[in-house]
Structure 1
Amino acid sequence: MHYLYSHNDLDGVSCGILARLAFGSNVEIQYVSIQRLDQKIQQHLETAKTTDPLWVTDLSMNSENEERIHTFIELGGSAQLIDHHKTALHLNDHSWAHVKIAHEEDKLASATSLLYDFLIKSDYLQRSQALDEFVELVRQWDTWNGIATKTSVQNG
């Protein structure tokens, strides 16, 4: 069973959608706030099986949980963090973290766009036009690339 902890905003929930498409019923998804992530990760790692991969998207954790994940991996576990926030760049020091602010095309990244690329490269998911469009719309919304649309939707 894969375990995904993702932010409870559009970008994070969209990561959950991609995970469900990639892993089907073999993924348990929890959407959490920034404030609750560290507690959830700590609780998860206290009982986690090393055979169950841990995924964290659109969020980053405190240094104590960095160390817990490191220990989990040393014991044979698997973990992957995918994020696009500058505050998480230091996590790239770990082999299990993939933090990237922008794509090569100088487009700002979202967690959804990074996870989509990762799942395709890892052969968990196949690229499709529908998913390409979905991921791009989420990326635009989350990076304020679609600010005119975002403002008009919010203002009704």
Structure 2
Amino acid sequence: MLLHISHNDLDGVSCGVLTKKFLREVDNIFCNYNEIDQILAEVNTAEYERILITDMSPGKRAFERLLGEIEMIIIDHHESSVWLTEMTECIHDIKKSATMLTFEWLKDMGKDVEPYRELAECVNDFDMWHLKRKDSLQMNMLFMKLGVERYMERFSRRPYNGFSADEQLIVELETERRDKYIHSAAKSGFSLKDRDGLDFFVVFAEEYSSELGNHIIKDLEMDYVIIINMQRHKVSLRSRPAVDVRRLAEQNGGGGHKNAAGFSFEFDFGTMDFLHEIGVIHEG
């Protein structure tokens, strides 16, 4: 039996679709970055032959506790996990999504994954923020509306060859709602300047972090955006190409990519204390 632990976003859950479809004997757990170490601490290694971790990585202490007790495989594309390449079996490529890396890993094992190439490429286009495909943003919308369990059931049952009529209707209705939400949320935030003279925007929002961040950076000409989700206790960071927000995420126990990162926080998270730490000078 394989224990598969993965991030609970579109990319991470799509990795779970592939393992459930092609490996069969697998337990899937989806979680946030700040939850993985606790999950590993509670694992009964006698129940599993291997542990597969995709689209995220454990902390060093949690990893070392299991090292030697059970075989561990890491498939990830975040720069923060590169240290694992020298510690265990690790597939690491910052230029591909975890779904695409998992797809290729299964193919190398001899699995007939080709019918799922379209799904892997669609998720890769969204997660790497290439956005060359119209349906990749729509796929994320569908994921958000279906939720983890329904998405897993839908795509592990049959591959993706375009949306069904019902799925297309969901996407169209959600597109309308998304556009209204993004414009409304952007109006509710405020701009600031950090100690390095960079302009950033703070906004409270619970949905569409990437799309909202992209809208604010482009239309309001910000260097980066801090999106605070009080419901999920999560901060998402988005930036223009030249600005690295991954470091800010890592300083707060999170991770991610140079231009798209995030971290979770406890219930007593203080917004103004956080902004003071990054050197706010004045409001814009």
Cα offset for 1:51?
5.2
**Match of residue 20 from structure 2:** 20
Deviations 1:50-109 (A, max 9, x none): 75211100011111122123222xxxx32111000011111111232222112xxxxxx0
* Structure 1, unpaired ranges of 5+: 103-108
**Match of residue 97 from structure 1:** 90
Alignment of structure 1 residues 60-79 onto 2, 5 Å: 60-72=57-69, 77-79=70-72
CA distance in 2, matches of 1:148, 1:79: 34
Largest Rg, 1 or 2: 2
In the alignment, structure 1 residue 143 sits paired with structure 2 residue 128: yes
Residues paired across the two proteins, number: 141
% identical equivalent positions: 26
Residues 14 and 112 of structure 1 are in contact (CA less than 8 Å); yes or no, is this contact kept in structure 2? yes
**Match of residue 83 from structure 1:** 76
Cα offset for 1:23?
1.4
Partner letter of residue 96 of structure 1?
Answer: E
Q: RMSD of the TM alignment (CA)?
A: 2.1
Larger fraction in strand = 2
Partner letter of residue 143 of structure 1?
Answer: M
Output the TM-score relative to the length of structure 1: 0.82
Output the TM-score relative to the length of structure 2: 0.46
CA distance in 1, matches of 2:91, 2:128: 18
Residues 125 and 133 of structure 2 are in contact (CA less than 8 Å); yes or no, is this contact kept in structure 1? no
Deviations 1:8-57 (A, max 9, x none): 00000000000011112x1110101111011001111xx21275211100
Cα offset for 1:155?
2.3
Structure 1 ranges of 4+ moved more than 3 A: 147-154
Give the number of the structure with larger relative contact order, counting CA–CA contacts within 8 Å between residues 6 or more apart.
Answer: 1
